[in-house]
Structure 1
């Protein structure tokens, strides 16, 4: 099974020809850092809008190009075909990508944010508990962080993933299906979660607290990570500075981010309060948690072979953190 085929199973993909054309147009520019991001990634959207990274990297003779993707699986394919050098995604996409042989390494992670993803139902739904989802249609983005949340939430109630009818849709299509009653529940992350709560009155059935960590990861193309450590260090220094600025004045940050995400400031502010933000070095405990997700997906038949997450770590991290 090819990488492109596997990630197509994970989520709707950008056209492969578009990615390759983009990679060729931007390829091998040692003086350019190409960052893959999702507009829903609020800190990176905030960082991009500030222009702070461009100023910081100019001292190293490096420019910045931001490349937007609709979701993590597409971003991982972009990273694999050389369209970007660094990317930021949730827990699940790297697992699907590694199982398909993608060439990337984990270079950092964001703190746990279990409240920033949840299972929601319509306000007037007669479903009151996760157990009530049995036999129901549940929308989710396949291969995303919420895929694991749904698996573990069902497991806690003694149910299997196969006990629900999974309907795989990207966020925009899932919300449309949710609001017209084509699905019974939706598993989604912020800021889409905060938006559907405020704008549609969706009722939160279960968030990630006590079930999942909902970490997010910074990834890099392996060769880039090995050769451009100074650029990555500068990126992380700026990311930390922007995270501190965001947390110091959430309301002001929300006002900046909201129009870029096409959301109301109040919605963005609510979503920001459910994240901690600020990249950290990988630890053995975090790697172990990521391995649990990989093992779960393999047991469910969602990836074709078992993987070893430590194999996707830079050499120094593998020795220091994975005990190898």
Structure 2
């Protein structure tokens, strides 16, 4: 015969387990109170979260579901953010500079260190362009306002040239590749996965990347309203990005195997770009702000934006501080 005290304890555990299961079942049946609309690009960390389903698992207990929207580049993503078609996204350093100059209501909510070899100025194997000085007078394809735009600015400056000494041809990545293949441009500045694909399929030759240059940060942005009204969601997304980033850095081959069928590319090609970037969201501290201010100042100096910007004005602060934006 089971002693009554043990019997009572077992019944208590059983009842607790049942109630936990029942509560979970009820929660699972209830619709999410909010939907978070995420803008992502093929090569970013958000694409890994999408493939894993890890963001849905992180946000579901908070009452959020997730919808995903893919973009070919940062400028298009921030245009969607401005139109309130998405709440949260990821870009390189220049797109938010152009967005701030255009008066788009967004805030920087997180950052990620930039890589040195995941973006480059490339030419065809038989191109006469061998050095940066050879770029004078050349037609160079790039996405305007993208991370490649900043790389080109820096490379031109390094060569002792002015931006006016080259002929930028502003094209989205797919159109830029077509122009590059046809020979209607002399060079192409592009990031992964397009860069890795051009190396593999077109045997493109790299003239220069961020080697010997200061790299800019990449950024996670949100609409100002979303960051102010849903700080718990913002912090949960950033926490998951940090966790997943550490996993990706330690498991590049597994990450490539996960992403390859999702993006329709060869796993070896995907692994090439995964290994080029240090993943993981960080907070936006003074170092990050100084770096981004330098990017903004470079575009203003090249007369590509109409006014000098103060990056700190659009940096989001943690929810514990009332989700306030500096200077607002």
TM normalised by structure 2 equals 0.85
Cα separation, partners in 2 of 1:322 and 1:234, compared to 1, 3 Å: closer
Whole-angstrom CA distance in 1 between matches of 2:148 and 2:165:
17
3-state SS, counterpart of residue 117 of structure 2: helix
Kindly report which structure 2 residues correspond to 1:1-324, keeping only aligned pairs within 5 A, or say none. 31-41=34-44, 43-314=45-316
Q: CA deviation at 1:261?
A: 2.3
**Structure 1 residue 146: Cα displacement:** 0.8
Check the 8 A contact 1:114/1:214 in 2, yes or no.
no
Q: Which moved more, 1:292-301 or 1:308-317?
A: 308-317
Q: Tell which structure's C-alpha radius of gyration is larger.
A: 2
**Is the contact made by 2:313 and 2:325 (CA closer than 8 Å) also made in structure 1?**
no
Tell me if the contact between 1:35 and 1:67 (Cα under 8 Å) persists in the aligned partners.
yes
Contact kept in structure 2, 1:149 and 1:212, CA below 8 Å: no
Q: Provide the aligned C-alpha RMSD in A.
A: 2.2
Shift of residue 309, structure 1, vs aligned partner: 0.6
Give the CA deviation at 1:157: 1.2
Deviation (angstroms), 1:227 = 2.2
Secondary structure of 1:75's counterpart equals helix
TM-score (norm 1): 0.86
Range moving further from structure 2, 149-158 or 250-259 = 250-259
In structure 2, do the counterparts of structure 1 residues 315 and 242 end up closer, same or farther at CA, with 3 Å as the change threshold?
Answer: closer
CA contact (8 A) 1:284 1:322 kept: no
Cα deviation code 1:55-94 (max 9, x no counterpart): 1211111111112222211111211221111111111110
Query: In structure 2, what is the Cα distance between the partners aligned to 1:198 and 1:39?
Result: 17
Structure 1 residues without counterparts, runs of 5 or longer? 1-28
**Structure 2: gaps of 5 or more residues:** 1-31
